[in-house]
Amino acid sequence: MTSPAYLDSPFLRACRRETVAHTPIWFMRQAGRYMPEYRAIKERATFLEMCRTPDLAVEVTLQPIRALGVDAAILFSDILITLAAMGVTVDFNPGPHIPDPIRTRAQVDALRTPKPEESVPFVLEALRRLRKELPAHIPLIGFCGAPWTLACYATEGGGGKEPVRMKRLCYEDPTTAALLLDKLTDMNAAYLVAQIEAGAQAVQIFDTWAQLLHVADYDRWALPYVERMIKKVREATAAHSPAPVIIYFARESGALLPHVAHATADVVSVDWRVPLDTARRVLGGAIALQGNLDPWALFAPWDELRRHADEVLVRAGNQPGHIFNLGHGILQETPVDNVRRLVEYVHERTAAR
């Protein structure tokens, strides 16, 4: 019996720091409003309906695979899906909105940590169908939010501004803050395991709001929970061979980077502000790097965009262990043609090496 082609794909090989035929490329939020195919579906369903209806989630996940030629598929969903499963009301209008944010010990106590199979079956169903419908050579990525980042959303309530309530909770009531983070860790570790069992070969943990923290607070309130989550996922999926890949994305600008290595992820996804050669030097050679084009470079004329892409490739260096991506999610008005052309360019330029 031969193993599935996706296990030997450039994306998974690069995550394992093996040699590749070309540098793999995908985009955070590669399914989204910048694509006409996506907007056509969005017209007849809300964002949450799209997340919760396997037919729609599968279709939208496949769109960028067909249209862009990227090297990996990432499940169409949202990190707040698990918050909703824990009993928190979550709306999108269009940004996330939590009408009754978590502020008290009683609210934290009331949070449930239900089994993913029972609370988010639609996600697992979408992953199972995606693994069947995707081309055999395309790996599938699942994801969740990091405990710190989810806690920021849960306590803030949304509104688009920088969330600030979680920091206050940490300072004023550290016991409640830790309990909230514990529950989020348990729920989301189980969620990642379920995603892997349902068909994901890699999972990415999004820590968007790590950028709010200074180093000492990151070491206390963010890092240990990510570390514990990763440990749980590795233990629960120890029978898989090759082991599922774990990617950690901490949106920040360099100060936290030496600490990010301790999260023990296989791949660190780097914010666009930290040059990849700096990241390589700080993180060492045992971690693959993902990133890190400035999402705004995709709005530039091609010559300028190519210059930015070259800068990323040169700083990544001519060595295994680089997955080309953005330094943050793709933006709404991004011109699709630039995205497609960038995928081709990265493939062609790195195949020549």
Q: Which residue ranges make up the site for a copy of itself (CB under 8 A)?
A: 160-161, 164, 167-168, 171-172, 211, 213-217, 252-257, 272-275, 278, 294, 296-297, 299-301, 304-305, 311, 327, 331
**Cβ 54 to a copy of itself, closest distance in Å?**
33
Distance of alpha carbon 214 from alpha carbon 211, whole angstroms: 8
Question: Which among 6, 52, 63 has a CA at the least distance from the CA of 30?
Answer: 63
Please name the residues in contact with 202: beta carbons below 8 A apart, sequence gap of 6 or more. Answer: 11, 12, 15, 72, 139, 140, 141, 142, 244, 245, 246, 247
Nearer Cβ to a copy of itself (110/255): 255
Nearer Cβ to a copy of itself (59/294): 294
Please provide the distance, in angstroms rounded to a whole number, between the alpha carbons at the two ends of the chain.
33
- The two tokens of residue 279 are 């990241």
**Cβ 38 to a copy of itself, closest distance in Å?**
21
**Cβ 307 to a copy of itself, closest distance in Å?**
9
Other C-beta atoms lying within 10 Å of the C-beta of residue 235: 10
Q: What amino acid is encoded at 57 in this protein?
A: A
Nearer Cβ to a copy of itself (154/279): 279
**Cβ 275 to a copy of itself, closest distance in Å?**
6
DSSP letter assigned to residue 137: T
**Cβ 213 to a copy of itself, closest distance in Å?**
7
Nearer Cβ to a copy of itself (58/297): 297
Q: What amino acid is encoded at 318 in this protein?
A: N
Helix (H) or strand (E) holding 143: strand 140-145
Question: Which among 232, 25, 190, 55 has a CA at the least distance from the CA of 128?
Answer: 55
**Cβ 327 to a copy of itself, closest distance in Å?**
8
Nearer Cβ to a copy of itself (45/300): 300
Other C-beta atoms lying within 10 Å of the C-beta of residue 6: 19
Q: What amino acid is encoded at 93 in this protein?
A: N
**Cβ 101 to a copy of itself, closest distance in Å?**
16
Q: What amino acid is encoded at 134 in this protein?
A: L
Nearer Cβ to a copy of itself (236/300): 300
Question: Which among 188, 185, 194 has a CA at the least distance from the CA of 125?
Answer: 194
**Cβ 280 to a copy of itself, closest distance in Å?**
14
Q: How far is CA 205 from CA 107, 126, 210, in A?
A: 25, 19, 12
Nearer Cβ to a copy of itself (65/276): 276
Nearer Cβ to a copy of itself (255/351): 255
